[in-house]
Structure 1
Amino acid sequence: MFFTYLRRELRRRRKAALVVASGLALGIALVIVVSSVSTGMSRAQDKVLESLYGLGTDMTVTKAAAAPGSGSGRPKFEFDAKGDDDATQSSDRVMVQGFQTLASSTVTRIGGQNGVAGAVGGLSLNVMKVDGQFKRGEFKQDESSGQGGRSGPGGQGGTGQPQGEVRGGGASFDVNSYTVYGTDVTEQGIGPLTSSKITKGRTFKTSETDAKVAVVDSAYAKEKKLDVGKTVTVHGTKFTVVGLSTVDSGDAAANLYIPLKQAQTLSDSKDKVTTVYVKAADSQQIDQVKSAIQKNISGTTVTTSADLADTVSGSLSTASDLASGVGKWLSIVVLAAAFLVAGLLTSSAVSRRVREFGTLKALGWKSGRVTRQVVGEALVNGLLGGVLGIGIGLAGAYLVTAISPTLTAQLGSSGGGMGGGRFMGGPGGPGRAAASKTLDIALTAPVSLSVILIAVALAVAGGLIAGGFGGWRASRLRPADALRRVE
């Protein structure tokens, strides 16, 4: 009887049911779209941070660079000006990039702190290479000398020296720089290389701690025509390319990755690192681990992924703020309005069915039965609104993903936490001397199962709220009310 009456009433009041369902659908769809876009922006931001920070890394430990002294930190290049004119000369300098170095023993000390699951050291280097050639100039004698009695004996001027000038010659040199990152090949689960995918060849073997092998960033390999099996020379040392890597979210990679010991040898930084990558045993204890490291290891700067996220600006940050702020509040307001309208419409519908419910009570229906009937109708309207809302929300999320609007993430320093205005964490991050860096990220709007379940819960809640309004009104009706309206 309940379902028969329910079906008949919903069929008889299709327009009213559709209005209530549509209102709920709008609010539910907005919640799905905003939630999916927020998730997409969160993933985009994580993608940016991983390219700088390293997958699985919760924080980095560095030591701020010392203030430069007079003439310090400037590379010096010496060339032999003698020799053949066409001989190409080349010289390079390997410099530790960005921060002061830390003793390798610091990695062990950090790894022994409470709450630390793993710690790995890395050494960031910048190689500046100058190559080119000197060319001698040619002396051109002045053709007018010796004519008109204006020159001395032998066609020379009054000084006895040939008259003319040196033309051509000089020096032509190209200056190139690239980044090299020393990686601990025995612990590859943490650190910068984990944010890259090996697209050709292989990564390092754990036995290659001091081997002359290298993994090359694919963009740099394309530029320099490098491939697996070829060699690349760094400061006179030849490294065999064993793999090519690609960073998913932009160009924040080092150009070359080599074993840590080799990087230390090239830069005369034995047992030194510039960055310690740290993984916490529990993501809920990151702040406690950060405090412990700062307290027990003085002179270091600890930067978490949350600190780094504060430096992300640009349209990605702006859109994220809008989605988390305006978008969520707008969803709440629209959803609350939809619930209120659904409740008022249901209550209004009950007031128009006074004769019906009064007659049913006169025939023996209890107030509870009438209330359940009204709540049942409202719940069905709510579920219908949920189905429509989920459909519209999924369509909206799919549209955002299909369009894939491009957002820019500008990465800069927030000040002291970033250690002297340089990027933290990534392979090119420690010491990458730049005020800002811009990456382009394509926005997607993934819809998770939890969002769908929330939508269903909202639909049920909307139906119950609307049914609560109508049921309360219906429960107060008396059979005499129906008799007063009989014509």
Structure 2
Amino acid sequence: MFFTYLRRELRRRRKAALVVASGLALGIALVIVVNSVSNGMGRAQEKVLQSLYGLGTDMTVTKAAAPASGDAQRPRFRFEAKDSGSKDDQSSDRVMAQGFTTLPASTVTEVAGQKGVSSAVGGLSLNVVKVSGQFTRGQFQQGGGGAEMRGNPGSGPQGRVEGGGADFDVNHYTVYGTDVSRPELGPLTSSEITSGRTFRATETDAEVAVADSAYAEEKKLKVGSTVTIKGVKYQVIGIATASSGDAAANLYIPLKQAQTLSGEKDKVTTVYVKATDSQQIGAVKSAIRKNVPGTTVTTSADLAKTVSGSLSTAADLAAGVGTWLSVAVLVAAFLVAGLLTSSAVSRRVREFGTLKALGWKSGRVTRQVVGEAVVNGLVGGALGIALGLAGAYAVTAVSPTLQAQLGGSVGGAGGPGGGGVFLGGPGRQAAKSLEVALTAPVSATTIVLAVGLAVAGGLIAGAFGGWRASRLRPADALRRVE
């Protein structure tokens, strides 16, 4: 009887039911789109942050920033004089620890021993400045009788030097020394080996390198090529492509080799940390700061605060304006649904009065009204989910490009010359721009939320109408003239 009456009433009042369902559908669709875009913003931000220090890393530990010491941080180059030929080819490499700040390798063990730390691995970030070129000797030209010839008598041949000079090229690139025995953490994990192979655990001190794909294309490197760093030739064994489109370093070499090149024996610039529980990252950070003095601990949440640009602006809009707009539309939809249901009850006074006179209890009348409202809500939910999925698909299909700028004061010391700020990972300086494509993934949680909202909307609307229907008395209802 309940379902028969329900079906008949919904069919008889399908226009009013469609209006209620459409209002709820609009609010639910907006919630799905906003929620999906917010998820896409989160994924885009995670993609940007992964390029800083790799997948699976919860935090980084670097040496606490110290005041710059002036000349100590200024690269110096020396060239030996040669006495053969008219052209002297010269080159000099300066290999410096990034930010000029390092930690003892024993810090890795200290950090790994802290409560809540699952694993920790050290890495050495280097900046290499290579100056190469040639000096060209000038040619002495004897004069004939001009002013140049009129010098002091007996001073020897008179003349002048013509030509000569210097032509030098400065090449700057970054190198990251990775602990090849612990490949699960560090910046290289955010890149995919697209050619060749990665390091083997036995290559702890081997003269091998993995090149970033963009750098390899620029320098025309491929698997089997060699690169020379400070006179040492390294064979390229693999080409890595960064998932974020921007690599952490141009070249990756074993940690021991990086320490030897830079003269930083048993030193690291960064410790990459993975916590046993993502919910305990704050507690782990506090423990490291307390028990490992002289260090700066940076988490992904700290780095997220430094992301600016259109990605940050869009995220703020989705989280702020979008959320409040969704709430406002939902509230309006619920109110409209409730008022329309209540109005429908007012038009059915004689009907409900007759049913009560026939023996229907107030509770049965209320359940009938609530049932109709819940069905309207479910229909609205189905329409809303369809519209929301279509909107999310449209955003993903268009994939608007957002720009993210990485900058801020977290993560440690300045870069070469003391000017840049590095964000807990190699090769990252202030105001580093990245581009990411926005998607709008719809999660199962979002669908469950939409269904919940649809049921809630129906219940709220039914509560309005059911309350009105339960107050009707048969005698009063039958005296009403419509």
**TM-score normalised by the shorter chain: which range applies?**
over 0.9
1:89 shift after superposition? 2.1
1:85 shift after superposition? 2.8
Alignment of 1:261-340 (within 5 A): 261-340=256-335
1:355 shift after superposition? 1.2
- How many pairs are equivalent? 474
Q: CA offsets, 1:68-123, max 9 Å, x none?
A: 33421222222234222345322111111115211111111111111111010000
Name whichever of 72-81 and 343-352 sits farther off.
Answer: 72-81
Whether 2:4 is the aligned partner of 1:4: answer yes
Task: Tell me if structure 2 keeps the 8 A contact 1:252–1:427.
Answer: no
Whether 2:395 is the aligned partner of 1:403: answer no
Which residue is 2:150 aligned to?
157
Whether 2:348 is the aligned partner of 1:353: answer yes
Specify the SS of the correspondent of 1:457: helix
Change (3 A) 1:276 1:99: farther
Which residue is 1:51 aligned to?
51
Whether 2:69 is the aligned partner of 1:76: answer no
Separation (CA, whole Å) in 1 of partners of 2:412 and 2:37: 29
Separation (CA, whole Å) in 1 of partners of 2:115 and 2:151: 88
Which residue is 2:470 aligned to?
475
1:42 shift after superposition? 0.5
Change (3 A) 1:43 1:450: same
Which residue is 1:388 aligned to?
383
1:371 shift after superposition? 1.5
Which residue is 1:136 aligned to?
137
Separation (CA, whole Å) in 1 of partners of 2:6 and 2:473: 21
User: For residue 401 of structure 2, what is the amino acid of its counterpart?
Assistant: T
Alignment of 1:6-405 (within 5 A): 6-82=6-82, 83-140=84-141, 145-146=144-145, 156-157=149-150, 159=152, 165-405=160-400
User: For residue 422 of structure 1, what is the amino acid of its counterpart?
Assistant: V
User: For residue 372 of structure 1, what is the amino acid of its counterpart?
Assistant: R
Specify the SS of the correspondent of 1:98: helix
Q: Could you tell me which runs of 5 or more consecutive residues in structure 1 were left unpaired when the two chains were aligned.
A: none
Specify the SS of the correspondent of 1:72: helix
Specify the SS of the correspondent of 1:118: strand
Whether 2:421 is the aligned partner of 1:426: answer no
Separation (CA, whole Å) in 2 of partners of 1:229 and 1:427: 25
Separation (CA, whole Å) in 2 of partners of 1:298 and 1:64: 9
Name whichever of 397-406 and 182-191 sits farther off.
Answer: 397-406
Q: Could you tell me which runs of 5 or more consecutive residues in structure 2 were left unpaired when the two chains were aligned.
A: 415-419
Separation (CA, whole Å) in 1 of partners of 2:412 and 2:109: 23
Separation (CA, whole Å) in 2 of partners of 1:414 and 1:87: 44
Change (3 A) 1:14 1:240: same
Specify the SS of the correspondent of 1:458: helix
Separation (CA, whole Å) in 1 of partners of 2:449 and 2:138: 80
Alignment of 1:454-469 (within 5 A): 454-469=449-464
1:4 shift after superposition? 2.1
Aligned-residue RMSD, C-alpha: 1.9
1:162 shift after superposition? 6.0
1:325 shift after superposition? 1.6
Task: Tell me if structure 2 keeps the 8 A contact 1:77–1:91.
Answer: yes
Task: Tell me if structure 2 keeps the 8 A contact 1:85–1:133.
Answer: no
Separation (CA, whole Å) in 1 of partners of 2:151 and 2:439: 83
Task: Tell me if structure 2 keeps the 8 A contact 1:53–1:424.
Answer: no
Segments of 4+ moved more than 6 angstroms? none
Task: Tell me if structure 2 keeps the 8 A contact 1:113–1:292.
Answer: yes
Separation (CA, whole Å) in 1 of partners of 2:442 and 2:284: 33
Q: CA offsets, 1:294-346, max 9 Å, x none?
A: 11111111111111111111111111112112211221121111111101110
User: For residue 15 of structure 2, what is the amino acid of its counterpart?
Assistant: K
Q: CA offsets, 1:146-205, max 9 Å, x none?
A: 4xxx78xxx943645666543322110000011111000111111111111111111111
Task: Tell me if structure 2 keeps the 8 A contact 1:313–1:411.
Answer: yes
User: For residue 423 of structure 2, what is the amino acid of its counterpart?
Assistant: M
Separation (CA, whole Å) in 2 of partners of 1:158 and 1:276: 68
User: For residue 451 of structure 1, what is the amino acid of its counterpart?
Assistant: T
TM-score (norm 2): 0.94
Task: Tell me if structure 1 keeps the 8 A contact 2:40–2:441.
Answer: yes
Change (3 A) 1:368 1:70: closer
Separation (CA, whole Å) in 1 of partners of 2:466 and 2:149: 121
Alignment of 1:436-451 (within 5 A): 436-451=431-446
Task: Tell me if structure 1 keeps the 8 A contact 2:124–2:177.
Answer: yes
User: For residue 282 of structure 1, what is the amino acid of its counterpart?
Assistant: D
TM-score (norm 1): 0.93
Task: Tell me if structure 2 keeps the 8 A contact 1:310–1:414.
Answer: no
Separation (CA, whole Å) in 1 of partners of 2:354 and 2:307: 66
User: For residue 207 of structure 2, what is the amino acid of its counterpart?
Assistant: K
User: For residue 37 of structure 1, what is the amino acid of its counterpart?
Assistant: V
